[in-house]
Amino acid sequence: MRIEVLNTGSELLLGTTMNTHGGWFGQELFKLGLRVQRQTTVPDGDAIREALAECVGRADVVLVTGGLGPTSDDITREATAAVLGAELIEDEAAMRSLEAYFALRGYEMSPDNRKQAQVPVGADVLPNPNGTAPGIYVPPRLNGAANCAVFLLPGPPRELYPMFHAEVMPRLKALSGGETAEEVLELKFAGLGESAIHHGVDALLAEIPNLEVGYCARTSEVDVRLIGNAEAIAKGREIVLAAFGDRCFSEDGSSLEEVVVGCFSERGLKLAIAESCTGGLIASRVTDVPGSSTVLTYGFVSYANEAKRDLLGVSWDDLQRVGAVSETVAKQMAEGALKASGADVAVSVTGIAGPGGGTEEKPVGTVFLALAIKGGVTQVRRERYVRDRLAFKLTVSQTALEMVLRAGERLRRG
Amino acid sequence: MRIEVLNTGSELLLGTTMNTHGGWFGQELFKLGLRVQRQTTVPDGDAIREALAECVGRADVVLVTGGLGPTSDDITREATAAVLGAELIEDEAAMRSLEAYFALRGYEMSPDNRKQAQVPVGADVLPNPNGTAPGIYVPPRLNGAANCAVFLLPGPPRELYPMFHAEVMPRLKALSGGETAEEVLELKFAGLGESAIHHGVDALLAEIPNLEVGYCARTSEVDVRLIGNAEAIAKGREIVLAAFGDRCFSEDGSSLEEVVVGCFSERGLKLAIAESCTGGLIASRVTDVPGSSTVLTYGFVSYANEAKRDLLGVSWDDLQRVGAVSETVAKQMAEGALKASGADVAVSVTGIAGPGGGTEEKPVGTVFLALAIKGGVTQVRRERYVRDRLAFKLTVSQTALEMVLRAGERLRRG
């Protein structure tokens, strides 16, 4: 089954918005054993019709994103109707859903929004609980010209992703028939590079018949994807975990913060976080997880030295003597957070995110992480992560959460 | 001049590597007054030849990335020679440069690397100081079939970017000749819907000759893009700001957090943040900005009631009586943060992110935001944002940062 992705939007080609859809679709489709054969980006306007006609002529399925809004440059609906030779009509259910969307939020619906309820005759309307633009599915064989299924989907990820999972994936499974019989296992690893994992296991995995292996490197995380029948996957899993099992944190697609919250809430453990260089990112990641309020109680963003002293009881003398980015201060921050919060585990980070602030002894990218455990001995790690400011923050948060997870697991054992 | 970008590489379509090239080329070309008309991604293999033939048939310039390496799936050179009907020959200078690259690093050159010195007859070799793959420039009119310039460039950004600046940009300037450079203005608005802005100004903007208007809706932010000559942009700007100027926070592409940090650091103002439902996200956004350490001193992630009491001095009686999600508690949180930190401005948020925790009186999505100013009267806002947990957090952080920005602006005036 040949699948193409067509992303529309001038902002994607001007570079003012990063086009993350191509890769995202690739990852999602891969879980179904499907591949994207081509991805095309075109600006708003006539180029959409031209490119869609080409895609429809080549592919079995075309996934189109963007251009479903209420404004004058949103013309994907019209372009699709023209290419498929279908008439656009106002869909009653889509109209009711639009009205309900505005009513729930207490906004008045603009007359421009009416065009968002227009769909090609015979198409399915795909509900959008997170925005005004409903998606549209035009099944194959609806028109003489093309034997191609076309999905029109909203551009913003928070509207696109849920709609894709709820509405597109089941239809793709049905369209692809037997193609999706394979299973998928995704193992996630923290603190390892892609080439280390690849080098360590790729040759062994290549010997397993009918096993497809994919690696996905993220910031301070590598995901290994195994695709094949149950037997091949079990063999592959054994090889990967034998080599790197101690760094694996998830086998079911859960994120590191989800695993941490699951581990802590299962055991009734409380977590406190004292952040300097990550500036609240670790706490924010933990609180992205529903139910985290039973786990995270106190978070301290002690950016200034005064905050480290006042909130966490770090010694002013030590701050002056060894500096905020030091083993001593990291230790006192974690212990201070543990004491102030009454939590079971506290983690602290203090480092130099850059671009300024580095010294010869402590260059940009230097960070100290400390882990304090109730009744235990505080551990401190020194790391150096040379990367831009945002990637630095994300990497430090990843290391901190991995330390927290291993502490939580030990507390079960103990 | 019609420019297309062709990115090659299976990893881009599998989603294991993010394709950032499309947007990057767009940004760089726009500086020259040029646009990317289409961007296409294809996997390694025969698809490259097929897609390149299409691009060459449509465009004046094609920028191809990837597939210049030494391995068996690197076939961009061969595909280009086939499409353009040109013969491949070993280029002496390219070969010497390859040998020098390996000698400098003390590696032995593999026989596979020899093919990296193969170029179409008459093409220019573009030096690559950061890798083994030289770039290739095939000027237009070199072949009968196409009047199109083709650049073959390496995929890795650290090889691509310097080569683009040193070798591609001068040639593109020469190719584009006298094409007039357009300007772009991007206005960013907080707290307004795309359709409200569109409805308010689109008809007026449409009357300005030679002005191109684009809207981009983000979470709790709309960007309006005006493209044209200086006169058209100035007229368009006046119309948009007359209608919505009070919600505009940026005219130079800066993010809301960058504008907040800029405004506060310029005036020597300090900010404190007390977060419940956003869990550290507001502080994390502020600390994404270099130099924010002079602005943000204290951040409190007071998720638990005990934290609100102990860190911010919120009354335990009030927490029991009116609940944590209330005007009273929001006010006390902001005032407590101001007092504990000694900052000039403090913002607090307390709300129900969901999916659990809602009541009839305070449904999921309810949030109170308070702003305390040194020597001023604390303001409290109640809002309701019906969306998923992450979008709720982002929307609340956006509203909070907009409140903070307006306070900072007023403090300059006062």
Pairing verdict, β B366-373 and B61-65: unpaired
- Alpha carbon separation from A323 to A67, A362, B398 (Å, rounded): 53, 10, 34
A193-202, B365-374, B386-395: which range is least confident on average?
A193-202
**Measured between beta carbons, which residues in chain B are less than 8 angstroms from residue A217?**
16-17
Contact assessment for residue A339 and residue A331, using Cβ atoms and an 8 Å cutoff: no
By Cβ distance, the residue of A38, A310, A354 closest to B40 is A38
Report, as an integer, the average pLDDT of B241-252.
93
Structure tokens, A288: 């992205």
Q: For residue B22, which residues of chain A lie inside 8 Å, CB to CB?
A: 12-13, 15, 19, 41
Q: Pinpoint the residues of chain B covered by CATH 3.30.70.2860.
A: 183-250
**What confidence score (pLDDT) does residue B414 get?**
44
What fold characterizes domain B183-250? Alpha-Beta Plaits (3.30.70)
Closest in B20, B199, B223 to A110, CB measured = B199
Residues of A in contact with B254 (CB under 8 A): none
Residue B49's pLDDT is 94
To the nearest whole angstrom, how far is the Cα of B99 from the nearest Cα of chain A? 26
A30-47 pLDDT, tens digit per residue, is: 878 788 999 999 998 889
Residues of A with Cβ-Cβ distance to B195 under 8 angstroms: 69-71, 110, 112-113, 132
pLDDT-wise least confident of A308-312, B19-23, B87-91, B311-315: B19-23
Mean pLDDT of chain A: 89
> Are residues A63 and A5 in contact, defined by beta-carbon separation less than 8 angstroms?
yes
Q: Number of helices (H) and strands (E), helices first, in chain B?
A: 15, 17
- Residue range A256-413 forms a domain whose CATH class is alpha beta
Residue B147 has pLDDT above 90, yes or no: no
Residues in chain B with CB shorter than 8 Å from the CB of A355 are 290
Q: Compute chain A's Rg from CA coordinates.
A: 26
- Would you state the pLDDT for residue B239? 96
Q: Is pLDDT of B248 > 90?
A: yes
DSSP helix/strand/coil, B77: helix
* pLDDT(A219) > 80: no
For an interface test with A, which of B17, B24, B29, B39 has the most A Cβ atoms less than 10 Å from its Cβ? B39
**Do the chains contact at B16 and A214, CB–CB below 8 Å?**
yes
**Does the beta-carbon distance from B388 to A130 stay under 8 Å?**
yes
Nearest-neighbour CA in chain A from B93: distance (Å) = 32
pLDDT at residue number A22: 77
CB contact under 8 A, A162 and B388: yes
Q: B205 vs B30, which has greater pLDDT?
A: B205
Residue ranges of chain A that CATH labels 3.30.70.2860:
182-250
- Hey, are the CB atoms on A287 and B299 less than 8 Å from each other? no
What is the least distance, in Å, from the CA of A302 to any CA of chain B? 6
For B90, the token pair is: 């070993």
Quick one: pLDDT at residue A70?
84
Write the DSSP symbol of residue A108. P
Give the pLDDT confidence score for residue B171 in this predicted structure: 93
CATH of B3-176, picked from 3.40.980.10, 2.170.120.20, 3.40.50.10490, 3.40.47.10, is: 3.40.980.10
Q: Is residue B233 predicted with pLDDT exceeding 90?
A: yes
**For B35, which of A13, A26, A342 is closest by C-beta distance?**
A13
The tokens for A62 are: 């075309």
**Lowest-confidence segment of B129-138, B251-260, B306-315 by average pLDDT:** B129-138
Residues B196-205 have a mean pLDDT of: 87
Instruction: Find chain A residues with C-beta within 8 A of B27's C-beta.
Output: 14-16
Tell me the pLDDT band of B102, cut-offs 50, 70 and 90. confident
CB contact under 8 A, A20 and B17: no
In this predicted structure, the answer to whether residue B143 has a pLDDT above a threshold of 60 is: no
Greater pLDDT, B358 or B142: B358
At the topology level, CATH places domain A3-179 in Molybdenum Cofactor Biosythetic Enzyme; Chain A (3.40.980)
- Kindly report, as residue ranges, where domains of CATH 3.40.980.10 are found in chain B: 3-176
- Whether B361 has a pLDDT exceeding 80, the answer reads yes
- Burial B181-212, CB ≥16 within 10 A → b, else e: ebebbbbbbbbbbbbbbbbbbbeebeebeebb
CB-facing half-sphere around the CA of B206: CA atoms within 13 A: 9
- Write down the number of H helices and E strands in chain A: 15, 17
With cut-offs at 50, 70 and 90, classify the pLDDT of residue B274: very high
pLDDT at B192: 80
Per-residue pLDDT band for A157 (boundaries 50, 70, 90) equals confident
Query: Is A158 in contact with B196 (Cβ distance < 8 A)?
Result: no
Q: Which residue of A has its CA nearest to B299?
A: A301
The interface pTM score, or ipTM, of the predicted complex is 0.76
Closest CA to A39 of B8, B24, B23: B8
- pLDDT average, residue stretch A215-236: 84
pLDDT at A69: 85
The average confidence (pLDDT) of chain B is 89
Which of B30, B37, B356 lies nearest to residue A290, judging by beta carbons? B356
Residues of chain A with CATH 3.40.980.10: 3-179
DSSP state of B190: E
B189: confidence class by pLDDT, cuts 50, 70, 90: very high
Q: Do A16 and B216 touch (CB under 8 A)?
A: yes
Residues of chain B with CATH 3.90.950.20: 256-413
Cβ of B279 and A300 within 8 Å? no
Task: Match domain A182-250 to its CATH number in 3.30.70.2860, 3.40.50.300, 3.40.50.2300, 3.30.360.10.
Answer: 3.30.70.2860
Average pLDDT score over residue span A291-306: 92
Q: For A239-248, what is the mean pLDDT?
A: 94
DSSP line for B164-188: IIIIIHHHHHHHHTTPPPPEEEEEE
pLDDT over threshold 90, residue B152: yes
Q: pLDDT (tens digit, 9 = 90+) per residue, A270-283?
A: 999 999 999 999 99
Chain A CA closest to residue B24: A15
Measured CA to CA, the distance from residue A148 to residue A273 in angstroms comes to 52
Pairing of strands A3-8, A36-42: parallel
Q: Which residues of chain A have a CB within 8 Å of the CB of B293?
A: 303-304, 357
Of B14, B37, B284, the CB nearest to A281: B284
Question: What are the beta bridge partners of residue B3?
Answer: B36, B61
pLDDT tens-digit series, residues B343-357? 999 999 999 988 888
